Structure 1
Amino acid sequence: MTTRVAVLVGSLRADSVNRRLAEMLRDQAPEGVELHLVDGLGDLPFYNEEIDTDDAASAVLALREAVASADRVLAVTPEYNGTMPAVLNNALDWLSRPYGAGAIVGKPFGVIGTTPTPYGGKWAHADAARSAGIAGARVVESVVVSQPGVEVDVLTDPEVRERLLDALRLLVEAEPAPVAA
């Protein structure tokens, strides 16, 4: 059985280090694990309940379908000004609705990433985990990896790669939240 992981990349830049980390995880995922990088986050309109209807924007419907069809969700994100990028926050807002029944509800959720600082994005990662948890995801605390990118090349360092792959394995092993009857 294949475990599908929807990956939300918090950077829109095509050559971002975090996107490259997500691609590395996709390419080196353990057998039986399939990572799907969800594209189009930059095409999402800002969340507004008035436009959250059955005929919402195609980018919204695609995001919700990608996450609903996944078994797990992984955010791979940098940190902007001490918090998560707006594009990731907006995606989580869309995934949280309708409240209590959004596409992310009950799914194991992890967050990893890097920044060129000594902190590695820890505030963004904490914010993303908190937001996803409020939205109904089952945040896997052991799958929050904030990798400083100051003294190491995060794309080539074998210890960093193994730490990120270990986090992915823990996310895959995590149990989904029980579904309310």
Structure 2
Amino acid sequence: MSVRILTLVGSLRAGSHNRRLAEAAVKIAPEGTDVQIYEGLADVPFYNEDIDVEGSVPAAAAELREAAARADALLLVTPEYNGTMPAALKNAIDWLSRPFGGGAISGKPVAVVGTAFGQYGGVWAQDEARKAVGIAGGMVVEHAKLAIPGSMTRFAELHPVEDAEVTAGLTVVIESLAGARAAA
């Protein structure tokens, strides 16, 4: 049986380098893993407890929760916006954390990767995402990390799937997630 990994991309821009990094993860997924990109983050309303009411949860939020519930593990791919993760990704984590202690992310292995223009590859954003997802109940796979600096130049003419260093790092992350799922 294949390990299903749901990928949430923090950047909503179609041509973003992080979106392309997620596409690379889909393409290079090792045998026995199925990596899928979630396409509906832009439609999920900001989390508000007033609208998170059983029977009337907004459809986009319910779909996100259902997709995460079906997944065995999650891969978060984040750029760095002003030193932290984008609002769309934080919002997804908030929706997936509810109900507290029993949300769709609860107990699931989660890894965080990303690329950014700066020299550190967005590590602040990745650290913030790990912190938030851990508090939300996810099982953060701490050793499954990949921060790729210089995205604007590194991927100006090269898709991440064509970069051997990137694909090797992504493969390790995906295998770590699958292994964490098997151990859980």
Aligned Cα RMSD in Å? 1.5
Name 2:19's counterpart in structure 1: 19
Name 1:142's counterpart in structure 2: 143
> Is residue 108–residue 177 contact of structure 1 (8 Å, CA) maintained in 2?
no
Match of 2:180 among 136, 157, 174: 174
Match of 1:78, as an amino acid? P
Residue by residue over 1:65-118, the C-alpha shift from the partner in whole angstroms, topping out at 9 and shown as x without a partner, is 000000000101101000000000000000000000000000000000100110
Structure 2, unmatched stretches of 5+, are none
Q: Distance in 1 between matches of 2:11 and 2:74?
A: 16
RCO comparison, higher one (Cα < 8 Å, 6+):
2
What SS is found at the alignment partner of 1:140? strand
Name 1:160's counterpart in structure 2: 166
> Is residue 72–residue 181 contact of structure 2 (8 Å, CA) maintained in 1?
no
User: What TM-score does the superposition give when structure 2 sets the normalisation length?
Assistant: 0.92
Name 1:93's counterpart in structure 2: 94
> Is residue 7–residue 75 contact of structure 2 (8 Å, CA) maintained in 1?
yes
Does the C-alpha gap of structure 1 residues 176 and 29 become closer, same or farther in structure 2, counting only changes over 3 Å? Answer: closer
Q: Distance in 1 between matches of 2:138 and 2:30?
A: 23
Name 1:48's counterpart in structure 2: 48
1:175 deviates by 3.9
Name the structure with the higher helix share.
2
Matched, 1:116 2:117: yes
Match of 1:32, as an amino acid? G
1:161 deviates by 1.5
1:17 deviates by 0.8
Name 1:28's counterpart in structure 2: 28
> Is residue 138–residue 176 contact of structure 1 (8 Å, CA) maintained in 2?
no
User: What TM-score does the superposition give when structure 1 sets the normalisation length?
Assistant: 0.93
Structure 1, unmatched stretches of 5+, are none
Q: Distance in 2 between matches of 1:94 and 1:115?
A: 25
Runs of 4+ deviating beyond 2 Å: 149-154, 175-178
Match of 1:149, as an amino acid? G
What SS is found at the alignment partner of 1:51? coil
The worse-fitting range, judged by mean Cα deviation, of 86-95 and 166-175 is: 166-175
